[in-house]
A and B are shown apart, each in its own frame.
Chain A
Amino acid sequence: MRAKGTLSGAGLQREVQRYRHFTRRAVVLAGGQVLLLAALVSRLFQLQIVDSERYKVLSDENRINLRLIAPPRGRILDRFGTPLADNRQDYHLVIVAEQAGNIHATLEGVAGLIELDEADRSRVLREIRRKHSFVPVVVRDNLSWDEMARVEVAVPELPGISVEQGLTRNYPYRDTAAHVVGYVAKVSEQDLTGDPLLELPDFRIGKAGIEKAQDLALRGTAGTRQVEINAFGRVVREIARVDSEPGRDVVIGLDMAMQEFVTQRCATEPSVACVLLDAVTGEVLALVSSPGFDPTVFTDGLKPAVWRQLSGDPRHPLSNKAIAGTYPPGSTFKPVSALAALTAGVLTPETTITCTGQIQLGNAVFHCWRKGGHGTIRLRDAIKKSCDVFFYETAMRLGIDRLAAMADRLGYGAPLGIDIPGEKGGLMPTREWKLATTGTAWQEGETLIAGIGQGSVLATPLQIATMAARLVTGRAVVPHLFRPAGIMTPGGDTAAPDFAALDLDDDARARVLDGMYAVVNEPGGTAYAARITEPQFAMGGKSGTSQVRRITQWERDHGLKPDQIPWKDRDHALFVAFAPVSAPRYVCATIVEHAGFGSEVAAPICRDVLREVQRRDPARQVPASNRVAAAGSAPAAPASPGAAPALDNQPAHDTSTTGRG
């Protein structure tokens, strides 16, 4: 130890003190570690020396090995029994070296029957050299039925060769219903529940969609096999066997033919979500989020490159936009405002409001999408022409509380509880919500904007479709996929789920639906160009165009065209529709991301889908042949230049939030 005061004095003195204390603690720490290491050594000594004999016996007994037999996973079927997920027999050719004798000759014989290139052959020879001679080496996998048959016949002349089969999950429709069906993948640590099945190396469990929601039913129960194995792991003989119990088939209400039709129809735009419901039963007949993804990429373990590509795509192929994408509903929300206003009595069908193109509230000006205004109009025309000022005024008279209460009844603001994971609840703003999230009081201007489905209002396409279903039935319809009744039989389903009545005013409901009829079927309606011309199939609907980003004053002054705006900043196009107007059975909601005007882009999709679904009528009929015409053969949109005023054609530019549609 140094004497006090040498070198830098007190500082050094402190440092010396510090070092001494440090050394003391370090010694304690080292002692602790030595003790723990000693514990390990003594434990190893006990296991490997003292108890070694006992474990050697157990090791031999391990040769009587209990092996699990994985049950085949249940299939997922659509309402007519079309498999959306099943198990594919996977045939592979294996060779056992010790039985083959002359391996080269055997491989030569195989090559005479099926294609076997030089790379395959050298791989087989390499693996045989590396592995125990009784271990089967795969010669070729994914044999076709034909190849399998050819080899099977010749097996007696090919010593050591045999055909083995396994099961892999198969999705016949690939990306067409991937968001609904989901996919299976390797079991991760968080999935383990103690079920030994989950610990089998090749076991797969549902990770998304129906595969996840119905996993326990689909999974089945493990069987067991007691086998005797020798010291090298070769199975000598089977001692006992309890067969596995296969997973149950799960039937969902989807109509795969419609799903295919909708998917093809949606593929005409970059990024679309479309929901088709049976309004009476709440069954989801088609649910498309486009673009989709191939579920098989998850089955064999996701490659980082594929993950990067899927997760980096700005169109979000992995996300199910139909239930998890939340968008301002825009003008598709106006039926909610209308119904709320009629119910509350702040408006009658005869009430007139004058639209001059804008409305003043304090210092703020709220614009209508139509610069010159709509003049003096009543509710029916206001829906038909999607007048914003009319609904600003309506919302102002109504107040946010009554508006939010009606939105809540029609399914906005909270998840509907569809039976696949990942659903979002959207948002219906209220005074309490505003205070809780921002700490500031509700402004009346926000009520106005909420009245046209902009501002903080957010909804999923599923919610918008459900709104329409509730509107046409007057019941608290809940959309769902699982069909407890199983495959639909000819004659159709009679028992519809008994949804509680919403206690809506029937007259008010009829008025709103009549307005939506006018939107599509009367000249001057925003979606007249997208009407269904067959009278028995006629639909009613409401268009919407929701802003992704505020339009700046500069853009307003310069009249920027949509194609001059970056894709991700362009407006979303929405449409919600029901059909047939006489007795509505089907509802459809479509959102085309960043596509511009709802009446131009989204309405034709709803029209084509609703026309096709009415022709097919999957809610009531079992088709003779389970096929529909390809989407391409559907008649093109009736071109009506000049005939019907396509009101959405003129871009409306505004500094304040404006709903157009």
Chain B
Amino acid sequence: MTALPPGLGRAPLHLVERILGLRWDLVVLVSVVAGIGIAALYSAADGNMQPWATKQMTRFAIALIPMLGAALLGVRRWFRIAYWTYIVTLLLIVAVDMRGFVGMGAQRWIDLGVIQLQPSELMSLALVLSLGRYFHGLGDDNIAKFRYLVLPGLMILLPTALILKEPDLGTAMVLLMSGLVVMFIARVRLLAFGVGIVALGMSLPMVWKFLRDYQKVRIYTFLDPDSDPLGAGYHILQSKIALGSGGLFGKGFLHGTQSHLSFLPEKQTDFIFTTLAEEFGLVGSLVLLALYSALIAYGFAIALRSRNHFGRLVCLGIVTNFFLYVFINIAMVTGLIPVVGVPLPLISYGGTAMLTVMFGIGLMMSIYLDRDVRLNRAGEAQPD
């Protein structure tokens, strides 16, 4: 048995080494997608930088800082503070909910000047981090036991319930699914998921009670879009007309008609994809999907390359969260699923979503930089 000299090859990377080792190609990829988003916002405002494009550019520039910051922080540090990020985010959610409840109307954000931070969106990252830490430390023999699933189950359900009550159906759904996916890749037995699904199915009537009237209307209209051509079904129909009339090559930049005619609500946020797809056609839609796929594939590659379980779980958790946002948003505007209101990552107008995605990518880069670090159960680096 050969014992390696301590520190050899596994010493924590120096800050300069971390900066040199950053995956700048990933930064470029992210910037390209964000650039497409800014162009779409410029077009959605009828060829104006105001009111959205300029502000979105500022947000992107600002969000680069936490992204690089997250990348420069070592994976061990992230492991150590994983639970704290979760607790702090949870407290923030409770705090803004309470304030929305006590004050006038719902102000579910924390004002940071350029960005009005919604802690519920940050929760996905915090949840993935703390689940990653939990399952990293959980031995293979224990993972088959149900009692070890109670804590992670609560970690997922608690914020999900809070966010569902806000009410933010879309974010709650993505959070729940991201959490479940992390449990899945952590090798929780499939039987447990079966039990979970049955329990969830039984609690559906309760969830239905939680839903607001407008959310119920959306589900009804999804089931029968023609029932209300001027109401909620109208949006899906208009969105499909915008997409469909774009054809193969689209109507050209700034020459979209449907998405400019105020037929669509929220054209700068949840329905921004229609603007792109109408003006750039199927080709444009597929290019965007390809860019997203490249980002997702990058995440998978980093996860498979990582030598610590924590990094692998967190990386796939982040990528899955990202994927869910992309899928749910595009499936929603193309009428595959009901309108639930989630943003399109890096494209939709909005500060917190931008910040969350960029932060997540920063975490991925941190995991990449520390791909060779092995962590024992307590999260200390260990030689191999």
Contact = CB atoms under 8 A, between A and B. Distances in A.
Given A59-B258, A208-B104, A194 B185 contact: no
B104 A229 contact: no
Contacts of A199: 265
A165 interface: no
Interface stretch (B16-24, B199-207, B296-304): B296-304
Nearest to B249: A48
Interface stretch (A16-24, A355-363, A537-545): A16-24
A43 B336 contact: yes
Contacts of B286: 41, 44
Q: Which secondary structure characterizes the binding site on chain A?
A: helix
Contact of A233 (B1, B217, B257, B374): B257
Given A48-B244, A65-B261, A304-B111, A196 B231 contact: yes
Contacts of B349: none
A55 B243 contact: yes
B379 interface: no
A24 to B, nearest CB: 9
Contacts of B303: 26
A29 B296 contact: no
Nearest to A188: B106
Interface stretch (B58-66, B83-91, B326-334): B326-334
B247 interface: yes
A506 interface: no
Most buried by B among A51, A192, A207: A192
Most buried by A among B105, B212, B330: B105
B243 A130 contact: no
A56 B140 contact: no
B309 A18 contact: yes
A30 interface: yes
A4 to B, nearest CB: 12
Interface string A66-90: 1000000000000000000000000
Interface stretch (A5-13, A368-376, A508-516, A638-646): A5-13
B277 A29 contact: no
Contacts of A145: none
B258 A62 contact: yes
B187 to A, nearest CB: 5
Interface residues of A, number: 64
A412 to B, nearest CB: 23
B228 interface: yes
A637 interface: no
A33 B323 contact: yes
A232 B234 CA distance: 21
Contacts of A9: 1
Most buried by B among A30, A45, A48, A56: A48
Nearest to A190: B212
Contacts of A22: 185, 187, 309, 312
A193 B241 contact: no
A25 B341 contact: no
A25 B1 CA distance: 32
Given A25-B184, A201-B262, A40 B327 contact: yes
16 contacts: A9-B1, A22-B309, A23-B304, A25-B184, A25-B185, A43-B334, A43-B336, A44-B286, A48-B246, A48-B247, A59-B244, A62-B238, A62-B258, A130-B47, A194-B232, A229-B261
Interface of B: 1-2, 46-48, 103-107, 111, 116, 140, 167, 181, 184-185, 187, 212-214, 217, 228, 230-232, 234, 238, 240-248, 257-258, 260-263, 265, 277, 281-282, 285-286, 289, 293, 296, 300, 303-304, 309, 312, 316, 320, 323, 327, 330-331, 334, 336, 341, 374, 383-384
The 4 closest A-B pairs by CB, nearest first: A55-B244, A59-B245, A48-B282, A192-B214
Given A132-B46, A194-B228, 15 more contacts: A5-B1, A23-B304, A40-B289, A44-B243, A48-B244, A48-B277, A52-B245, A52-B248, A62-B238, A130-B47, A135-B46, A190-B212, A193-B213, A233-B261, A307-B111
